Structure 1
Amino acid sequence: MPDPLQILPAEIILRCIEFTPLSGVAALSSTTKAWHSFLETAHQDAIYSQQAHQLYNKHPRSDREVTQLSRDYRVFGEAKQDRSFVQYFRGVESWKDFCKRLALLQRNWNSNRPVVRESIVQVGYDPVWRFKPDFKRRFIVSTSQAGGVCVTDMDNGRMLWRLRREDVRMCAHLEYDQDSGTACWDRFGNAVEVWKADEVERGTFHRVAILNHNCETRGFQLSRFNDKETLCIVSSEGKGFVWDLSVHPPQQRKVLDIENEAVGHLDQGEGTVMYSMGPRGYHVCSKTTGEIMGKLEPKDCPNIFHIAHPPPQSHTTMGAANHGPTARVCPPEHPRKDRLRPLKLYNGAHPVPRSPLAIENDEWGSGIISGNYMAGVSRAGRIFICTDFLGALADPARFRETTAILQTEGDGSTFELGGWLSIKNGRAIFEIIDSIYIFTMPDFGKIPETGEAQRPIWATPISSAPQLAVPVSFMGIYDDCIMHTYTTLGFRSLRPRRGSNGDHAPNERSRAFPTKAIRILSLAPNLARPGKELSYLEGMEVHDNSPRSSVTNQAPRNTPATRGLAQQAGILQLMALLTGNEGDDDEEEDEEEEEIDEDTRERLEMEIEEDERREWEEYAAFEQEEEMRERQELADMMGLNDDEGDMEMLRSDEEGENAAPRAPYAPSLDDDDDDWEDEDAMIG
């Protein structure tokens, strides 16, 4: 067979290569010197530019973000188009280098056990409620359960700016647009505040408007389409509001008439807005005309699948879960392959569902639109997915072909916040009981496949220990990472106490308290290690490829001695951290002064005995009911009553006696009289 290089024009060969995968181009380049010269020298930019566009647009991307690559690869790595936590595309040298980075990132996302690095961000001393990352300006905006707004540096965890508790309501919802730096949060009185990031002083905001409404508002959502910011607000009294935030002052463009009793969750596409109506599914309206475009009722979906829940967390002590004021956030550290546990998808209904709700009576909460994709979550732990959103609205036959229900072991315990989920780049993320699931969506117009053709599904815990687990209040999936609220132990930083004469008393021990921090799971390959971008520390993870089945893998009700001892040790250690140890001060000071470098710590962790690993596996095999019982026992020991509930956080006993009454949350950096406040932990 003659060589195509000898008989075909270069234009024809380049056109054929457009349909060749990147692996085929690499193989062809290694065949002969002539082909290597043709591909890697004469036409490298043309070939790899086309390959980069195919890789980048393989999955329908959110129409809220950049959907087309620039002609210049260097532009995509600039701050204005950055959507990467680790600045993954900064310093790209060529279209070939750009393709390599995309291929490595995609390989990790498609792996059964991806290499994941982790960062934990403790924002002040209050539990985080909502947060939004700004990859362009490199900070995170967050609200808290105790009130207030904080802006935290994404790289070093330092506080850049804040509003006090008295200025922003408790548990305020937050929306944010990275391109313009527009932030929105709600206030009492059915109003939404609109703030803008200061482009001169990084991290600061100023208020530009207050949007008032004459009816009860339940939720709002901000998106950008074609350089136009649109804020959609929903009322339970049969009204929907569409605001244009691209002009100053903001203008109300449309008031929509919708059905009453909307539950407060909504999302929008370029010309559509979708409202969650609880048991009535999802209603979709036009943002321009106000007319209803259709209804998506999951109870009519004929395609049913189920996912077995993973075993409980295997943490037996709290030692590895302690986090204080963050010293460094980016780059994340400690690559591991066990942070995301693989799950299996099966055909048919779940054999033993936890929730008694039938699908006809199920209540649907949060729903998200992303390009062609749509997903929603229910009280009973059902996930509704659609791979042709507009087609399913217009044609009942298309609805049956492109929708599916994923049944899980959800019992409704985490649904009071309405359920949370996110979709990006063909992946959906949602919360079920004590875990977050990451589900890889099927292609456009398809339904999921099981068996060997199954796409990756993972689970990761929502807390550093089962005893601390509370529902997630925000989660998001981005180009190279997953972010979510994470319940763990926080620490109040050390600070000398002020004596009555103005002198400083000796330092006292820091105190631990349960709090909700921000957990960042980065799947970006480590480009600082050429040839080992996806390497990790072998021997650290404990693999368990057999997910817990409600039928075949019932755990015995009697707790073995190993688990009882481990649980007792974990409770004792947690109580010691929360209350402070009373012991020999000199001995404690010596222990605090001893430091272990990172290499030594990793070596010690790798030397864990095999019998200890076996105990971890035995501990992980038991049912969730046992974990719930033990968590309740711990809550009783910590003095939490039934009225406070799982979402209640401990308040420090170190606040001043004359402090103003406030909700029983962890102490805040906003307290000027707080003796534990670390002045170096914030700027301004």
Structure 2
Amino acid sequence: MPDPLQVLPAEVILRCIEFTTLSGIAALNSTTKAWHGFLDATHQDTIYSTQAHDLYSLHPRSDRETLSLNRDFKVFGTPQNDRSFVKYFHGVQSWKDFCKRLILLERNWNAKRPVVRESVVQVGYDPVWRFKPDFKRRFIVSTSQAGGVCVTDMDDGRMLWRLRREDVRMCAHLEYDQESGTACWDRFGNAIEVWKADEVERGTFHRTGILEHDCETRGFQLSRFNDKETLCVVSSEGKGFVWDLSVHPPQRQKVLEIENEAVGHLDQGQDTVCYSMGTRGYHVCSKTTGEMLGKLDPKDCQNIYHIAHPPPQLTLSMGAPNHGPTAQVCPPQSPRKDRLTPLKLYNGPHPVPRSPLAIENDEWGSGIISGNYMCGVSRGGRVFICTDFLGALADPARFASTTAILHTEGDGSTFELGGWLTLKNGRAAFEIIDNVYIFTLPDSGTLPEVGEIQRPIWATPISSAQQLAVPVSFMGIYDDCIMYTYTTLGFRSSSPRQRRNGQNTRSERTRAFPTKAIRILSLAPDLSQPGEELSYIEGLEVNDNNPRGNDTSSIRSGSAPRARGAAMQAGLLQLMALLTNDQEDETSNSDSDNSHPNDREPAVLDEAARAELYASITEQEQAEWAEDDAYEQMLEMEDRQQIAEMMGFGDGEEEAMEMLRSDDEDEVAVRGPYAPSLDDDEDDEWEDEGDVV
């Protein structure tokens, strides 16, 4: 057979190569010198640019923003819009190099046990509620359970800017668009504030508008389509609002008439908006005309699957380095293969469901649209999947062939504060009891497959220890990482007390307390080691390689759902010892040479020496030391109250929120520059430079 290079024009060969996979091109490249010269020298950019466009468009990225490979990567080495946590595409030198990075990244996402590097970011001293990353400006915007807004550097964890607690309500919802730097959060009075990132001073924001509504608002969601920002708002009083944020001031484009008692979850596609109606499923309306396009009721779905919950989280040492924030944020460290536990998918309903809710009475919460995919999660731990969103709305037969229900072992205990769902790049993430599940979706228009050909399903804990587990309040899937709120130990430093002679009565000490940080699981290969980007590192031996199967012999029929409280109480005393006594002992030992007699009494001290010692101590110094002891006891009591509250032993929401507010004196140690109160005068001074880390 003659060589195609000798008999066919180059244009015909290039056209044929467009339909060849990268593995086929690599094999052809190694056959002869002539083919190597044709593929890798003469026509390299033409061949690999076509392959790069296909790989880049593999997943429906247009669900949130309009991306163009030619626009985002105009000049290699300086991509215009790298949406990756580790700057994965920085330094790309050619289309071939770009294809290689895409293939390595996708290979890790599709692995049974991917190599994962971890970063845990502590944002101040308050538990994080919602957060949004900005990979373009390299910071994270977040709200907290105690109130306020913080902007944290994505590379080093340093706080860049914040609004104080009195300026933003507790547990404020947050939406953000990184293309324009637009941030939205709600406040009391059914109003939403709109802020813009300052392009001159990185990390700072200024308010551009307030969106008022004449009825009770329950939720809102911001998306960008064709360079137009649209904010959709839902009310429980039978109204939906569509705002255009691309203009200044923002304009209300449409008021939609919907059914009453919407539960607050909503999401939007390019022309549609989907509202969650609880037990009535999901209602879809047109954003332009306001007409009802259809309803998706999961109880009508006939394709049922189930996932067995992973084994209980391993009991970890309370002093282990897995607690607390990591020393470095970006690039993340410690690559391991045991951070995501593989799970299996089975046909049929779960043999022993934990939730007593029948699907007819189940309440559906968060629903997300991504391209032609749609997913929703319920109180009973069911997950609804639709792989042809618009087709299922228009044709009942298409609904039957493209929708599925995943039964899990959820018991509804995390639905009120959690129940979060995210969907991006062909993958869905949702919370079940004490784990985050990551489910790889089937191809568009098809159903999930079980057995050896099933796509990856993983689980990862929501906390660094089971005793700390509280529901996730935000999670997101991005091109190279997974991010979610993560309950772990935070650390704060107490400022040293000054004596009259200018010396410190005791050295600075660090105290641990439970909080919600941001956990970042990066699946980006390590490009600093060519040829070993996805090599085995460590950690495979920690977890059983075989996930728990479909065997129910060890589960009693009709048994009650597993109680979370008992598991949490099992290590409560050990955890409280870490937060209080252990660190006091370590501090006492490390500072023994410099400790004051009132802190550490000499081993042998006669009566004369004792009298001389106490005579030298002034009344003011004794009062200061007494104040120190009272202050330490107060901190210890706050730590114990916070633990008890996070374990579910509190007396009420108001009291819990008060306990979450940290002491202003300690807060100065980690806070960065802040914006003056919105009610302050313009000439109010900011914090001193000494307060900035």
What is the DSSP-based 3-state SS (H/G/I as helix, E as strand, rest coil) of the residue aligned with 2:439?
Answer: strand
Which of 639-648 and 408-417 deviates more? 639-648
Please give the per-residue CA displacement for 1:444-479, whole angstroms capped at 9, x wherever unaligned. Answer: 100100011100000000000001000000000000
Matches of 2:135 and 2:200, distance apart in 1? 17
Q: CA deviation at 1:336?
A: 0.2
Who is 1:444 aligned against? 444
Correspondence 1:674 to 2:670: no
What is the DSSP-based 3-state SS (H/G/I as helix, E as strand, rest coil) of the residue aligned with 2:256?
Answer: strand
Who is 2:576 aligned against? 575
Q: Is the 8 A contact 1:161 1:683 kept in 2?
A: no
Matches of 1:291 and 1:309, distance apart in 2? 41
Q: 1:66 to 1:319 in 2, by over 3 A?
A: farther
Q: 1:650 to 1:113 in 2, by over 3 A?
A: farther
Matches of 2:83 and 2:112, distance apart in 1? 24
Who is 1:233 aligned against? 233
Matches of 1:3 and 1:583, distance apart in 2? 79
Please give the per-residue CA displacement for 1:289-316, whole angstroms capped at 9, x wherever unaligned. Answer: 0001110001111111000000011133
Structure 2 letter corresponding to 1:663 = E
Structure 2 letter corresponding to 1:202 = R
Structure 1 letter corresponding to 2:242 = V
Who is 2:411 aligned against? 411
Correspondence 1:19 to 2:19: yes
Q: CA deviation at 1:420?
A: 0.7
Q: Is the 8 A contact 2:274 2:285 kept in 1?
A: yes
User: What is the correspondence of 1:64-79 to structure 2 with a 5 Å cutoff?
Assistant: 64-70=64-70, 73-75=73-75, 78=78
What is the DSSP-based 3-state SS (H/G/I as helix, E as strand, rest coil) of the residue aligned with 1:223?
Answer: strand
Matches of 1:637 and 1:228, distance apart in 2? 43
Matches of 1:477 and 1:585, distance apart in 2? 41
User: What is the correspondence of 1:43-122 to structure 2 with a 5 Å cutoff?
Assistant: 43-70=43-70, 73-75=73-75, 78=78, 80-122=80-122
Matches of 1:542 and 1:642, distance apart in 2? 27
What is the DSSP-based 3-state SS (H/G/I as helix, E as strand, rest coil) of the residue aligned with 1:267?
Answer: strand
Structure 2 letter corresponding to 1:579 = T
Q: Decide which of 569, 587, 590 is 2:589's aligned counterpart.
A: 587
Matches of 1:519 and 1:512, distance apart in 2? 18
What is the DSSP-based 3-state SS (H/G/I as helix, E as strand, rest coil) of the residue aligned with 1:360?
Answer: helix
Q: CA deviation at 1:212?
A: 0.8
Q: CA deviation at 1:664?
A: 1.3
Structure 2 letter corresponding to 1:134 = D
Q: CA deviation at 1:59?
A: 2.2
Q: CA deviation at 1:324?
A: 5.2
Q: CA deviation at 1:647?
A: 11
What is the DSSP-based 3-state SS (H/G/I as helix, E as strand, rest coil) of the residue aligned with 1:273?
Answer: strand
What is the DSSP-based 3-state SS (H/G/I as helix, E as strand, rest coil) of the residue aligned with 1:349?
Answer: coil
Q: Is the 8 A contact 2:182 2:195 kept in 1?
A: yes
Q: 1:640 to 1:425 in 2, by over 3 A?
A: closer
Who is 1:177 aligned against? 177
Q: Is the 8 A contact 1:127 1:666 kept in 2?
A: no
Give the superposed CA RMSD: 2.8
Correspondence 1:282 to 2:274: no
Matches of 1:485 and 1:67, distance apart in 2? 27
Q: Is the 8 A contact 1:316 1:569 kept in 2?
A: no
Matches of 2:88 and 2:592, distance apart in 1? 42
Q: 1:587 to 1:107 in 2, by over 3 A?
A: same
Matches of 1:176 and 1:220, distance apart in 2? 11
What is the DSSP-based 3-state SS (H/G/I as helix, E as strand, rest coil) of the residue aligned with 1:52?
Answer: helix
Q: 1:503 to 1:296 in 2, by over 3 A?
A: same
Q: Is the 8 A contact 2:467 2:570 kept in 1?
A: no
Give unmatched runs, 5+ long, in structure 2. Answer: 557-566, 594-638, 674-690
Structure 2 letter corresponding to 1:311 = P
Matches of 2:178 and 2:386, distance apart in 1? 27
Q: Is the 8 A contact 1:157 1:327 kept in 2?
A: no
Matches of 1:501 and 1:277, distance apart in 2? 67
Who is 1:157 aligned against? 157
What is the DSSP-based 3-state SS (H/G/I as helix, E as strand, rest coil) of the residue aligned with 1:133?
Answer: strand
Matches of 1:546 and 1:230, distance apart in 2? 45
Which of 387-396 and 134-143 deviates more? 387-396
Q: 1:204 to 1:129 in 2, by over 3 A?
A: same
Matches of 2:655 and 2:344, distance apart in 1? 37
Who is 2:308 aligned against? 308
Who is 2:660 aligned against? 665
Q: Is the 8 A contact 2:119 2:332 kept in 1?
A: yes
User: What is the correspondence of 1:488-503 to structure 2 with a 5 Å cutoff?
Assistant: 488-498=488-498
Structure 2 letter corresponding to 1:677 = A
Matches of 2:572 and 2:650, distance apart in 1? 19
Structure 2 letter corresponding to 1:587 = N
Q: 1:413 to 1:643 in 2, by over 3 A?
A: closer
Please give the per-residue CA displacement for 1:25-67, whole angstroms capped at 9, x wherever unaligned. Answer: 0011001111111100011001111111111112222432244
Structure 2 length-normalised TM: 0.85
Q: Is the 8 A contact 1:267 1:274 kept in 2?
A: yes
Q: Is the 8 A contact 1:487 1:516 kept in 2?
A: yes
Q: Is the 8 A contact 1:62 1:425 kept in 2?
A: no
Q: 1:219 to 1:77 in 2, by over 3 A?
A: farther
Q: Is the 8 A contact 2:492 2:666 kept in 1?
A: no
Correspondence 1:264 to 2:259: no
Which of 493-502 and 232-241 deviates more? 493-502
Matches of 1:676 and 1:24, distance apart in 2? 59
Q: Is the 8 A contact 1:194 1:209 kept in 2?
A: yes
Who is 1:133 aligned against? 133
Q: Is the 8 A contact 2:670 2:692 kept in 1?
A: no
Q: CA deviation at 1:355?
A: 0.4
Matches of 2:80 and 2:352, distance apart in 1? 49
Correspondence 1:295 to 2:287: no
Matches of 1:59 and 1:641, distance apart in 2? 38
Matches of 1:369 and 1:60, distance apart in 2? 10
Who is 1:358 aligned against? 358
Q: CA deviation at 1:202?
A: 0.4
Which of 20-29 and 642-651 deviates more? 642-651
Who is 1:344 aligned against? 344
Q: 1:169 to 1:124 in 2, by over 3 A?
A: same
Q: Is the 8 A contact 1:343 1:459 kept in 2?
A: yes
Please give the per-residue CA displacement for 1:128-173, whole angstroms capped at 9, x wherever unaligned. Answer: 0000000000000000000000000000000000011100000000
Structure 2 letter corresponding to 1:283 = H
Q: Is the 8 A contact 2:309 2:548 kept in 1?
A: yes
Who is 1:211 aligned against? 211
What is the DSSP-based 3-state SS (H/G/I as helix, E as strand, rest coil) of the residue aligned with 1:85?
Answer: coil
What is the DSSP-based 3-state SS (H/G/I as helix, E as strand, rest coil) of the residue aligned with 2:146?
Answer: coil
Q: CA deviation at 1:377?
A: 0.2
Q: Is the 8 A contact 2:76 2:91 kept in 1?
A: no
Q: Report sequence identity in percent.
A: 75
What is the DSSP-based 3-state SS (H/G/I as helix, E as strand, rest coil) of the residue aligned with 2:493?
Answer: coil
Matches of 2:91 and 2:647, distance apart in 1? 54
Matches of 2:470 and 2:651, distance apart in 1? 6
Matches of 2:535 and 2:342, distance apart in 1? 19
Matches of 1:326 and 1:315, distance apart in 2? 20
Please give the per-residue CA displacement for 1:369-423, whole angstroms capped at 9, x wherever unaligned. Answer: 0101110000000000111111111111111111111110000011003611111
Matches of 1:206 and 1:87, distance apart in 2? 27
Aligned length: 621
Q: 1:649 to 1:336 in 2, by over 3 A?
A: farther
Q: Is the 8 A contact 2:307 2:343 kept in 1?
A: yes
Who is 1:382 aligned against? 382
Structure 2 letter corresponding to 1:575 = M
Q: 1:107 to 1:71 in 2, by over 3 A?
A: same
Matches of 1:229 and 1:641, distance apart in 2? 37
Which of 504-513 and 292-301 deviates more? 504-513
Q: 1:403 to 1:30 in 2, by over 3 A?
A: same
Who is 1:249 aligned against? 249
Q: 1:567 to 1:448 in 2, by over 3 A?
A: closer
Structure 2 letter corresponding to 1:552 = T
Which of 73-82 and 193-202 deviates more? 73-82
Which of 433-442 and 416-425 deviates more? 416-425
What is the DSSP-based 3-state SS (H/G/I as helix, E as strand, rest coil) of the residue aligned with 1:45?
Answer: helix
